[in-house]
Amino acid sequence: MENRWIPIGRMTDDKDVLRDVWFGRIPTCFTLYQDEITEREAEPYYLLLPRISYLMLVTDKVKKHFQKVMRQEDVTEIWFEYEGTPLKWHFPIGLLFDLHASNTALPWNITVHFKNFPEKDLLHCPSKDVIEAHFMACVKEADALKHKSQVINEMQKKDHKQLWMGLQNDKFDQFWAINRKLMEYPPEDSGFRYIPFRIYQVTTERPFIQKLFRPVATNGQLNTLGDLLKEVCPAAITPEDGEKKNQVMVHGIEPMLETPVQWLSEHMSYPDNFLHISIIPQPTD
Amino acid sequence: MAMPNSLLWAVDIFGRIYTLSTAGQYWELCKDSQLEFKRVSAVKQCCWGIACDHQVYAYIFSSDVPIRYQEETYENQRWNPVGGFCEKLMPSDRWQWSDVSGLKHQQLDSFTLPSPHWEWESDWYVDENIGGEPTEKGGWTYAMDFPATYAKDKKWNSCVRRRRWIRYRRYKSRDTWAKITSHDDPKQLPDPFNDISIGGWEITDEPMGRLSVWAVSLQGRVWYREDVCHHNPEGSSWSLIATPGEAVQISCGPYDLLWATLWEGQAIVREGIDRNNPQGISWTTVEPPSSENGILHVSVGVNVVWAVTKDRKVWFRRGVNSHNPCGTSWIEMVGEMMMVNVGLNDQVWGIGCEDRAVYFRQGVTPSELSGKTWKAIVSGRESDRSQTGSSTSLLSAGCFFSDDVREQMNLIVESDADISSDTKGPQIQPNLADTPLSGAAASVNGNNVGSQSPEASANLAVDPLDSSPEEASPASDNGDKAGLEKPKSSADQDPHPAELQWTNIDLKEAHKRPPLSASTFPETSSLSSLGMFSAGVEEQYDTDEHPLWAWVCGGGCLVDSHSSLKWFTLQSGLLSSVQSLSLSISPAQTAAWRKQIFQQLSERTKRELENFRHYEQAIEQSVWVKTGTLQWWRSWKPHKWTDVRVALEQFTGNDGMRDSILFIYYMYHEEKKYIHVFLNEVTILVEVLNDAKHSFALYTPERTKQRWPIRLAATTEQEMHDWLALLSMSCCESRRIQGPPSHQAIWSVTCKGDVFVSEPSPELEATPHVMPCDQMFWRQIGGHLRLIECNSHGIVWGIGYDHTAWVYTGGYGGGFIQGLASSADNIYMQSDVKCVYIYENQRWNPVTGYSNRGLPTDRYMWSDASGLQECTKVNTKPPSPQWSWVSDWYIDFNISGGTDREGWQYAADFPASYHGHKTMKDFVRRRRWARKCKIITNGPWLEVPPITLWDIAIIPSSAADKEESIALWAVSDKGDVLCRLGVTQQNPAGTSWLHVGTDQPFMSVSIGAFHQVWAVARDGSTFYRGSVSPKKPAGDCWYHIPSPPKQKLKQVSVGRTSVLAVDKNGNLWFRQGITPSYPQGSSWDHVSNNIRKVSVGPLDQVWVIADKVQGSHSLSCGTVCHRTGVQPLEPKGLSWDYGIGGGWEHITVRGNATEAPKAALHETSEEHSANPTDLEDGENGGKGNHSKATLMVNEGQEVDRNAVNC
């Protein structure tokens, strides 16, 4: 049978947000640091990086590419840097980009290093097992906040594996077949127990802000992104008649402050089930 | 959640009646509230109460369907040679005006209205219908003599004739408290009433809507109201039921439980209540838990009895059921209550002793009837919503549970107790009513919609105490505490000019909050225009002034463990009653923030991806495989379940599309073999659940022809659903089908209630080279339905097995199709109830009479309908694990052929036709037992309450204007014909029903493209409705259409111009001779046999569900068939093309207006039908192919056991 008769009537469904979030890609240009010793000239390497993944999980090709032009003995642990800032591999890629490089021209220029691992800034990543452990730890922490760990504990080992494999192999369906369970809540409640979120600012020393925050206020109203910021990071909010100084960014967009945090948590969390929110200074043009 | 809204009734201490909806969060004052009440007892359709005048009142809910009663009388005449037929009868004859038997004299003017609550609908008129056939004008039916069998034709020997006159009266006092008047002898009248309880509707369905109404009078006598039913909502008279002592209070359950309390503290239990004797036979006394504290109050359900003793302790009676209505022993429960009330599903409510709040017993389930805990209902009153204070401030002020308020309650409790025993009450009551608590506060603050400060609300909390001096004294004992909790309020307190002060504060504080509410709800104005809530109101609760209750009744309140009630938390308006909005628009969807996110995401994708698509992806795509172990129904004999390894390989094709292959590896003579199926060839995946196996069937066009699908079974339901979900997603993906079905979609349901939808290709109706219908791809949509109807504007309605009407929400997925293959919005919980039947068989023997000792050759003494399968009460399980029992086994009296008083049907031998009375020739008998089971699933359906339906029809096409209303007709399950108003594409559920009067119950209705309405009555008579048009949606009158000779029709379908009908013997008929000027047509033409249902589409295409369709492997029942060769000149078509089946129950093609691409059909149907010679040709053509037209039948062959199972 032919496929000519594709049904009409696609609405904007909330699930489309999940797809858009999952399939977000950042065009990236990897360049080898000038001081790295090479045998031949190192060509830059271009790649579409999944926003929701982790640097060390998706850069095998990059490593291979630059290894080719280097002496074997110089190939040590790879690390990445953007405009002088070492990039933390345990932050999702989209967060790194939003935090450090949003409002800059694309592609994103990342510098590749092998020497001088910045011990004080970065964690070592000897294998993908470390990333998996970190990822699963985040998922578990998020579920502890959302469901007192009830959902994650009821899952089987293979379900946990499926979450990880889904992320690793970029299998949206495989991942969400399990992850949807983590996004459910009892119908008599209006949302999760607490919203798993982390708020990042480049301007402070503190790595991120994380507090207990309920999706529904005591008066029964849904808490919004604005409510969240007001409570945990009031500096980020533009005063009533003041000039906008900051951008509040998730997945490269700025949701309105009226957006309910419960909805955000269900639809715009990273695969680790956290909302990673970046507060960045408003570009001055 | 899509459970219908139902009401909890309560009376406050001032005698005002309030209702609380299961979907609501506020107590609403009863519309008609002129009277003050002391008791109410509610069921779904009505509420009875005793007002303070000690009279009984009934509140019958209004409905789109009127309560009408048909009065009838017969006019009898005899022929004589002089005057022909005339009024002169022989002296031995019946009255000239009589009832149907002729024994009772009843003239037209002897009929009067039974009470002031009735009105006549029209004048008397003659009925021109006899047994489904139209009579001659005048309605006379003829016979040789009285009494005799009457016929519509006059013969040479017809000496007498009679005709039937009918007139309808209508009950008019609905949605109001109608006083029950009695025609009894004034001396026999009961003394003033003291308590009332209604129930007993489960005892029997006959007559429809029958209720048991029990009352207790002040002198302690018990009364039963005779003849209360749907057609006679007031009942006819009170009968005195003797009791062993003076009764105080009574409680009647939905079924056969009836308990009352005696003045001395015992309870009495009515025994012997059944369908033949709803009043019961005798009383048995049950002693109270302890002799010093007698039983004060009792309430019963189906299987439970709760009681309150004089010390306010709550008791649960252990071991109560139909067979042992007295139960075995008392169990003391936690909590002290004024009274308790058992409602539907044995759920329990109570009124707290301390705080006079209504409590709901949480956790009551069939397995744990005593529940878990009492939970207070904190809902405020609707009338209080416009008043005072935010909930947060009040809660923090602590006044909700503060002692001062409680003290006041105790005081009222005492005074209320006085009311019931002596006459001190009336003095106290007005006194309370005069406090600002109820009157002044409401009137003053009602005008100030803005929020109030904590000070203001706290003020309000204490004011009532101060306003009346004698009540203030108990409160002052706790004054210190109250003062600590509300330091500000006590300081500000000014007892006297309270009203003024509140007004001032209101004005002052009103400015404080608006900025916040405005910023939190940017779209408040648009939402409130949808009738949801008004700006700012969601914040306000009047918790301090929480209502004090005297009585609660849950007899009409449908709550179960799946219900999510909003009664226990003070919620914001945004979260409430989202479903009450029109379909597919939830506040979240229309919100600006949501639009912004969609827009920004698409901008982001453009920005970050558009110019970089040539970049390499970081993660390579690969083949993904799911493997597992399943069982496979072996294709060679002997057929049996065989363990197999199964693998699904998904790969991405060059075009970027995914495709999949399913491999099934099996052993054949120790050799490893496999079969494989490309999922893009699969036409349908059908769940075949039964209690033994979790299996599903997979069809391809080839396997549809063979009637032999691939059948696979998993060990658990979950595993099967995982596979099904994955396979169906892969099928849809390989066919690029995504999202909701189109408006053209063809919908069908299986006999298991599963819903399937197929997208029609243009070739489907492209005569002469049609696409074979075994190639249609069907995907499942969640939900459970018996019938489904649609049109080409996307209006889809369904009816469940429990006759609930459902409207399609525009979603997709649901059921096992979860997550990504399912829409996130528009999926709701759906439930359905059906009966499982087993038969008890007995044989007569000369020694013991009828007994369960059959002959060795007999069927099982407990069996299925065929007698071939043994089915006992114990071993019979619900149809699948998705179903659970919701009733016990009961004798089913509603079986064709009728039954005796115990439900038996008699016959000469098994198997035979059964009749409802014993004769000399009968040696065997059987009776049918039924047990209800319930499924809970979900799907894109919302209930259309409250009228339950039997059939639906939607006009196949009409103007495409979104605003224009779309004609939708229905038949209620009681047989009323209804026309839905306000159905538009925007609001597919419509607004209300318009009742279309008929003289008998109907069973089928259909409407054609030009508003031609055809309908079939239950007696098989067929009608055409005249003058139906968009302006006159209900038309004007019925035209009786004679049935095909010796056949009774059961279903009709009208397409563009074609009218086809199915009779009770499975014949399909085409209506000949229809022209625009003569839309009734002239005669019925036979088309085919073995037809169960027909659906005629907007192109006049004909689709049916047929039985006994021959496949190459087996025969199938319930098969989708398509009539081929249907053309304007050949409206009956030529032959059948066979599609999916068996096990299909219903199909509707009324959405498919997709014409063939070549559009060769230039002749319009009107042209052709206006031309009689063309019709002649068409008819001949049809007859010439008659042999082909008939379905192939091979009676001897085994019916397809692979099918879904009819």
Read off the pLDDT band of B672 (50, 70, 90): confident
B569 in contact with A, Cβ within 8 Å: yes
- Which residues in B lie closer than 8 A to residue A174 (C-beta atoms)? 624
Shortest distance, CA B722 to any CA of chain A (angstroms): 10
Minimal Cβ distance to A173: which of B607, B622, B820: B820
In total, chain B counts a number of residues equal to 1206
Minimal CA separation from A216 to chain B, in Å: 10
Q: Which of B391, B596, B621 minimises the CB distance to A255?
A: B596
Q: Provide the pLDDT confidence category of residue B1073 given band limits of 50, 70 and 90.
A: very high
Beta strand ranges found along B426-571 (DSSP E): 549-553
- Record: contact B574-A221, CB cut-off 8 A: yes
pLDDT confidence tier of residue A2, bands split at 50, 70 and 90:
very low
**Nearest CB to A9 within list B592, B597, B742:** B742
B855 has pLDDT over 90: no
Relative to beta strand B549-553, strand B7-12 is antiparallel
Contact B596 A251 (CB under 8 A): no
pLDDT, tens digit, 9 for 90 and up, residues B76-116:
988 888 878 888 777 788 888 999 888 899 999 999 999 99
Q: Are B1051 and B1094 in contact (CB under 8 A)?
A: yes
Closest CA to B900 of B923, B919, B916: B916
Instruction: Give how far A128 is from chain B: nearest CA, Å.
Output: 14
Give the residue carrying structure tokens 């001949």: B1180
| Whether A220 and B1 lie within 8 Å, measured CB to CB | no
For testing contact with chain B, the best of A173, A179, A250 (most B CBs within 10 A): A173
pLDDT at B531 over 70: no
Better pLDDT: A240 or A75: A75
| Residue B535 touches partner A, C-beta closer than 8 Å | no
Cβ of A27 within 8 Å of Cβ of B616? The answer is: no
Q: Which chain B residues have a beta carbon less than 8 Å from that of A16?
A: 598
* Contact check, Cβ <8 Å, A14/B824: yes
For range B390-399, the mean pLDDT: 33
Give residue A192's pLDDT.
94
- In degrees, rounded to 5, the angle at the alpha carbon of residue B1083 between the alpha carbons of residues B1078 and B1087 is 125
Question: CB of B289 within 8 A of CB of B309?
Answer: yes
The pair of structure tokens assigned to B466 is 């101060």
Which of A204-208, B198-202, B993-997, B1058-1062 is least confident? A204-208
Q: Where are the alpha helices (DSSP H) in chain A?
A: 14-22, 55-58, 60-67, 93-101, 128-147, 150-154, 157-168, 172-182, 225-232, 261-268
Q: Is the pLDDT of residue B742 over 60?
A: yes
pLDDT of residue A187: 75
Mean pLDDT computed over every residue of chain B? 79
Chain B contact set for A258 (CB, 8 A): 519-520, 522, 591-593
For residue B147, the 8-state DSSP code is S
User: Which structure tokens are listed for B868?
Assistant: 């071939």
CA distance B794 to chain A (A): 10
On the question of pLDDT at B264 being above 80, the answer is yes
- Give the tens place of pLDDT for each residue, A47-61: 999 999 999 999 888
What is the token pair recorded at B104?
């009772």
Cβ of residue B738 closer than 8 Å to a chain A Cβ: yes
Q: Do B575 and A180 touch (CB under 8 A)?
A: no
Higher pLDDT, B189 or B1144: B1144
Mutant choice from B22, B575, B608 vs A, greatest count of A C-beta within 10 A: B608
ipTM at complex level: 0.92
Report the pLDDT value the prediction gives residue A273, as an integer from 0 to 100: 96
Interface A:B, Cβ pairs < 8 A: 183
Q: Do A5 and B762 touch (CB under 8 A)?
A: yes
Least confident window among A157-171, B303-317, B435-449: B435-449
Q: Chain A neighbours among B 162-191 (CB < 8 Å)? A: none
A chain contacts of residue B810, beta-carbon cutoff 8 Å? 9, 11
* pLDDT of residue A263 exceeding 80: yes
- Dump pLDDT digits (tens) for B296-342: 999 999 999 999 999 999 999 999 988 899 999 999 998 899 999 99
Judged by CB atoms closer than 8 Å, whether chains meet at A48 and B761 is answered as: no
- Under 8 Å between Cβ of B826 and B579: no
What does the pLDDT average to over B1041-1053? 93
User: Does residue B503 surpass a pLDDT of 80?
Assistant: no
Cβ contacts (< 8 Å) between B741 and chain A: which residues? 7
Q: How far apart are CA A90 and CA B650, in angstroms?
A: 31
Q: What is the DSSP string of A164-178?
A: HHHHHTT-HHHHHHH
- Put simply, whether B70 touches A (Cβ < 8 Å) is no
Do B255 and B202 touch, CB atoms closer than 8 A? yes
Q: pLDDT tier at B526 (50, 70, 90 boundaries)? A: very low
Give the model's confidence band at B3: pLDDT under 50 very low, under 70 low, under 90 confident, else very high.
Answer: low
More confident site: B1184 or A104: A104
Q: Which residues contact A32 (CB under 8 A, 6 or more apart)?
A: A38, A42, A66, A69, A111, A112
Interchain proximity A6–B743, CB inside 8 Å: no
Candidates A10, A18, A25, partner chain B, best to mutate (most B CBs within 10 A)? A25
* Among the partner residues B565, B602, B608, nearest to A25 by beta-carbon distance: B608
Mean pLDDT of B513-538: 35
Is the peptide bond prior to A187 cis by the omega test (within 30 degrees of 0)? no
Q: Which of A3, A15, A173 sits opposite B735 (nearest CB)?
A: A3
Count CB neighbours of B366 within 10 A. 15
CB atoms B612 and A106 under 8 Å = yes
Asked if B761 and A2 come within 8 Å (Cβ–Cβ), the reply is yes
- Interchain CB contact of B561 with A (< 8 Å): no
B307 to chain A, closest Cα gap in Å: 30
Strand-pair partners of B75 = B97, B163
Mapping DSSP onto H, E and C, the string for B795-851 reads CEEEECCCCCEEEECCCCCECCECHHHCCCCCCEEEEEEEEEEEEEEEEEECCCEEE
pLDDT value of position B98: 92
Given a contact cutoff of 8 angstroms between Cβ atoms, the answer to whether A88 and A276 are in contact is no
* B425 compared with A68, residue with greater pLDDT: A68
Q: Which of B273-282, B584-593, B816-825, B1185-1194 has the lowest mean pLDDT?
A: B1185-1194
Q: Does the CB of B596 have a partner CB in chain A at under 8 Å?
A: yes
List the single best residue of B619, B681, B724 to mutate versus A (max A Cβ within 10 A): B619
Instruction: Give the whole-number percent of chain B exceeding pLDDT 70.
Output: 77
Q: Could you tell me the CA-to-CA distances from B909 to B854, B861, B1093, B1133 in Å, in that order?
A: 11, 13, 32, 44
